[in-house]
């Protein structure tokens, strides 16, 4: 009988380590931006409290009892009571004042809750630096909370502090692995992937979103599966892998279900890809089904209607195009649509050109160019000027359908997918 060989090389558990997250920006004195943003006595008390929490959170637990003087808490609480403060921050500042009296006994969750409340107040007041400072203080007060670490990354990203945001997202991933918080784990990878998309680092983005997708699948998190697959769709489109993009879109559609808030965005993205490939008929069906989902969202509504105009032009539906033309020009007067107006007018130009309505095409392209120039939307400026030159020089727009290597006749799979999207959007809008 063959002897069983004993295993001598037992595999050690893999240790995940990341560099410490960044806790300072460009400010010369830690927390100084709080004083600049908030000002008055409230700003001073917030700044002092932030410094106290940071001092306490970064100290060794055994050393905390000697951090503050015996009179520090009494004095602080008197200052908070006497100050004219927004009611939202009075209780949190009182909690932090109490920390000064019992630094070794105050639980981290209480400190984190107080800092989170201040951060939320600051966010509502549009005090971005203060919001970031207290989100960070909350995360350091609860060093095993992956969710609080994720929040720091999100706030830093909103403030365009990308280096700090990335370190906190990676910190959130490390903690979430340790404590088994798989939702935060997937969300942090999605956040890193989206940052990579904005930088144009598509291979990095693909890796980040694949990690998020796999984790969401393993742990049964369908909403996050949908988000990760949707973002992988975007990466595939940007890198020209259109067949794979549609596969990811189907995966996102299955994961989202009929009631997910991002389903209309996914449908819009997929239909736009089809339109770029020359599959105008299924694209038009989906765009039309999106109309009810744009109610109350003028920017999204303008995008949908301008896409209807382009797709209608592509299939020769002149009357549908002209109604969309009128609607786009009506919506164009609303201030909130300004960021998407150049793109919308460019779609109108394409739709008009497809129908041979050259005066309309030139008018729309001129407006697209003007708005893109005003808003410094460089990619749209280039596209609008190219379309305008093509119209003026030869009254034609070169179609790029042939460049994709895909026939303008949609495949049966695409037709079936379009029908499923339309049916689901109609059901969702009826509820």
pLDDT at 402: 32
pLDDT, tens only, 140-155: 999 999 999 999 999 9
Tokens representing 49 are 């409290």
pLDDT at 338: 96
- Give the up-direction half-sphere exposure of residue 115: CA atoms within 13 A in the CB hemisphere: 32
pLDDT in tens, 287-308: 999 999 998 899 999 999 999 9
Residue 5 pLDDT > 70? no
Mean pLDDT of 36-54: 94
Would the pLDDT of 39 be above 90? no
Q: Give DSSP secondary structure letters for 80-98.
A: HHHS---HHHHHHHHHHHH
The residue count for the chain: 431
- pLDDT band, residue 429 (cuts 50/70/90): confident
The end-to-end CA distance of the chain, in Å, is 69
- Tell whether the model's pLDDT for residue 430 goes beyond 80: no
**Predicted local confidence at residue 215, as pLDDT:** 98
Higher confidence at residue 397 or residue 261? 261
Give the chain's domains with CATH numbers.
Answer: 32-218 (1.25.40.10), 257-430 (1.25.40.10)
Higher-confidence position of 28 and 318: 318
Q: What's the pLDDT at 30? A: 81
Q: How much is the pLDDT for 307?
A: 98
CB 99 within 8 Å of CB 113: no
- 117 secondary structure, DSSP code: H
**Euclidean distance between CA atoms 324 and 313, whole angstroms:** 10
pLDDT in the model for residue 31 = 85
Where is mean pLDDT largest: 20-29, 272-281, 388-397? 272-281
Give the dihedral of Cα atoms 98, 100, 103, 108; nearest 10 deg.
50
**Confidence at residue 381, expressed as pLDDT on a 0 to 100 scale:** 95
One DSSP character per residue, 237-292 reads HHTT-HHHHHHHHHHHHHHH-SS-TTHHHHHHHHHHHHHHTT-HHHHHHHHHHHGG
- Is it the case that residue 431 has pLDDT exceeding 80? no
**pLDDT for residue 397:** 59
- Return mean pLDDT, the chain: 91
Q: Is-contact 324 306, C-beta < 8 A?
A: yes
pLDDT given at position 27: 66
The overall longest dimension of the chain from CA atoms, in Å, is 90
CA distance 98 to 109: 14
pLDDT at residue number 395: 67
- Place 28 in a pLDDT band, splitting at 50, 70 and 90: low
pLDDT for 82:
94
Confidence of residue 2 (pLDDT cuts 50, 70, 90): very low
Residue with tokens 């744009």: 294
């Amino acid at each position: 009988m063959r002897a069983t060989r004993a295993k001598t090389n037992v595999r050690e558990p893999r240790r995940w380590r990341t560099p410490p997250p960044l806790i300072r920006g460009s400010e010369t004195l830690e927390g100084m931006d709080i004083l600049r943003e908030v000002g008055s006595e409230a700003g001073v008390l917030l700044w002092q409290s932030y410094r106290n929490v940071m001092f306490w959170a970064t100290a060794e637990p055994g050393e905390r009892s000697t951090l503050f003087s015996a009179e520090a808490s009494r004095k602080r609480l008197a200052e908070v009571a006497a100050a004219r403060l927004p009611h939202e921050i009075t209780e949190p500042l009182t909690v932090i004042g109490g920390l000064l009296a019992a630094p070794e006994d105050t639980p981290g969750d209480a400190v984190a809750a107080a800092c989170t409340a201040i951060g939320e107040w600051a966010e509502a007041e549009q005090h971005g630096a203060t919001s970031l400072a207290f989100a960070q203080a909350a995360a350091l007060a609860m060093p095993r909370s992956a969710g609080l670490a994720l929040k720091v990354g999100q706030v830093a990203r909103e403030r365009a502090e990308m280096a700090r945001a990335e370190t906190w997202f990676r910190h959130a991933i490390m903690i979430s692995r340790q404590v088994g918080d798989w939702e935060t784990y997937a969300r942090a990878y999605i956040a890193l992937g989206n940052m990579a998309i904005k930088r144009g680092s598509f291979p990095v983005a693909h890796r980040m979103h694949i990690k998020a997708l796999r984790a969401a699948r393993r742990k049964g998190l369908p909403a996050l599966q949908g988000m990760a697959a949707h973002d992988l769709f975007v990466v595939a489109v940007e890198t020209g892998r259109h067949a794979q993009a549609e596969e990811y879109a189907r995966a996102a559609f299955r994961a989202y279900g009929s009631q997910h808030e991002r389903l209309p965005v996914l449908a819009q993205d997929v239909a736009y890809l089809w339109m770029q490939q020359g599959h105008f008929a299924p694209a038009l069906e989906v765009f039309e089904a999106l109309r009810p989902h744009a109610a109350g969202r003028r920017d999204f509504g303008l995008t949908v209607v301008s896409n209807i105009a382009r797709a209608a032009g592509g299939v020769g539906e002149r009357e549908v195009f002209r109604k969309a033309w009128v609607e786009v020009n009506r919506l164009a007067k609303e201030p909130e649509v300004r960021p998407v107006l150049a793109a919308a007018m460019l779609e109108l130009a394409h739709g008009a050109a497809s129908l041979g309505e050259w005066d309309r095409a030139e008018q729309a392209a001129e407006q697209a160019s003007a708005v893109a120039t005003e808003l410094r939307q460089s990619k749209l400026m280039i596209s609008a000027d190219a379309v305008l030159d093509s119209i003026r020089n030869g009254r034609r727009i070169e179609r790029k359908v042939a460049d994709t290597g895909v026939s303008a006749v949609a495949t049966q799979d695409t037709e079936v997918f379009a029908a499923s999207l339309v049916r689901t959007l109609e059901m969702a809008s009826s509820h």
